[in-house]
Amino acid sequence: MTQILLQPAASDKPLEHFEKTIQQKVTQEVLSEFLTEEQLSQVQLIYGEDNVPVWGVIKSADLSNKRQWDKVQKGDVALFAGRTIYASGTVTLKLHNIDLAKKLWPDTEYPFEYIYFLNNIIQQNISKKELNSQIGYSINNPIQKFTVLDPETSQVLLEEYDSFNSTNVSDFTREFVALARKPLVRYEKYSRKEIHDIFEPHTKFTPQTGTWGIKGIIPLKEAPNDFVLFVTYGKKEAHHTFDEEININGLVNWQSQPKQKLGSKTVKRLIDHDHEKSNVYLLLRTASNDPRYIYMGKLAYVEHDLSKEEPVYFKWQILDWDLDKERASLLGIELVDEISDLTIVHASPSKELTLVPPPPKKKRNKKSQNSFKGRKVDFVQTNAKNKVVGDLGEMLVVQYEKDKLIEAGRPDLADDVEHSSDLIGDGLGYDIKSYTPDGEVKYIEVKATVGDIYTPYYLTLREVLFSQEKKNSYYLYRVYNINDNPEFCIYQGDLTDQLVLEPTQYKVYP
């Protein structure tokens, strides 16, 4: 009766072995150096002239692996377990051969001398919790020991999963490796190779060289606006000592490579990062005696220093931040109370605004919305500096409104211009209450950014609804280039008729 073999193969070495001797298989020319004539004849009878998928297990100190291997029979089904059950294969032959094991897997401390040959290798994607439940194991059993299930338990799985008995050998898709390899989990530690294998397993990894072996900023090939950032505290490079830190709110001061300037292609792409459309992953190494990196989470661009380059200084926000100082210290991370400011906002309230016509409304089709074209986004949700930008924009508009009313001969109305968001707070749907020279009320919402007029910004649902409710007296003042020569344009009335509003969040009901 067919038995099921639970074969753990999740860490770096076993996965390399799987790729080398299962996916790529072993040539009969190699096998012929180590097999007897009788064994070689059996191989040729089963495989013809084809290459052979080969696997093996070590003896183990308590001989438990050998005892399990002794139970293995022709026709049994091996299940390879990583993050999931990611592959299966049918046993065709087994043999004990230390020399063959050393030839096939020379990079192991102990030889995988108890060998079995396979056929009918099939990609699977079965939850380990699901499989554990089927066979009566604890659902959190990690499947870390080579085990041959008894015939009765094996039959339960064979009846549940028809794919084990399929006669169609499948090609392994790109998703296969992701099912096998260590998943990306926040605050877990990873080697560079493990991170490489998660993101680009089908590219070559070379330690201490190449893109993944040494670089600190890695753009992902299949998602070109996604990046992986490797950060090492206190690292020195090209006469520059990196001074990087994280504060108690999850704000990160980070520096680019020493030779990169503000106009560098990679730097411009990072400045244009939109956290709602693409991802930047932060890997942090804190200890010189541990080569592994802690995965801290995804980042959102906050700001960069306009006065420094080679390297360029950035500030990022770690999304969904949940660490306090005590928990961070357990990871070897020291959180600071405040991080140093960057040179961002140069304008002052005394600077004059220049009124320009609004740009024409552009129809955005589905393709352009999903093209992942990088754009500068002021990350208002978590960045206190953006509040400085917003407040400055509002003060410039307040002064502009007062000046215009005085020019129109209405100093009395100028005195009544109200900075409502400062006086009452946010949430009104507008920031400033002003007047026309005829005394009609103007409700003004101000949106200010460091970037140009095409920099996206956020509107709340309340602000959009207020523009519809008060469309005859509602104005949006769009202030931009606030660091240099600030300009603004005006939209009056219902904003949904004049602007492209792109949903970034949804409230969901069953």
For residue 157, the number of C-alpha atoms closer than 13 Å in the C-beta half-sphere is: 30
Annotate 113-141 with b (16+ C-beta within 10 A) or e (fewer).
bbbbbbebbbbbebebeebbeebebeeeb
Instruction: Pick out the chain residues at pLDDT < 70.
Output: 165-182, 237-240, 339-351, 361-386
| Residue 404: C-alpha distances to residues 308, 355, 395, 407 (Å) | 38, 12, 14, 5
Query: Which stretch of DSSP H or E encloses residue 101?
Result: helix 98-104
Q: Is 236 exposed, middle or buried (0-12, 13-18, 19+ CB in 10 A)?
A: exposed
Residue 6 identity: L
Q: How far apart are CA 95 and CA 40, in angstroms?
A: 11
Instruction: Cite the DSSP H helix spans in 128-271.
Output: 128-135, 151-160, 175-180, 192-199, 210-214, 265-271
- Token pair belonging to 135: 């066979």
Residue 16 identity: E
CA 411 to chain centre: 55
Residue pointed to by tokens 């400033």: 432
Measured from the Cβ of residue 365, the count of other Cβ atoms closer than 10 Å reads: 8
pLDDT at residue number 363: 58
pLDDT at residue number 182: 66
pLDDT at residue number 347: 45
Strands 293-304 and 313-318: antiparallel
Residue pointed to by tokens 């046993």: 91
User: Is the separation of the CB atoms in 5 and 81 below 8 Å?
Assistant: no
Q: How far apart are CA 379 and CA 302, in angstroms?
A: 5
Phi and psi dihedrals of 410, rounded to 5? Answer: -125, 60
- Token pair belonging to 273: 């990062």
Report which DSSP code applies to 500.
-
Q: How far apart are CA 455 and CA 451, in angstroms?
A: 6
pLDDT at residue number 275: 86
pLDDT at residue number 386: 65
Residue pointed to by tokens 């996965």: 15
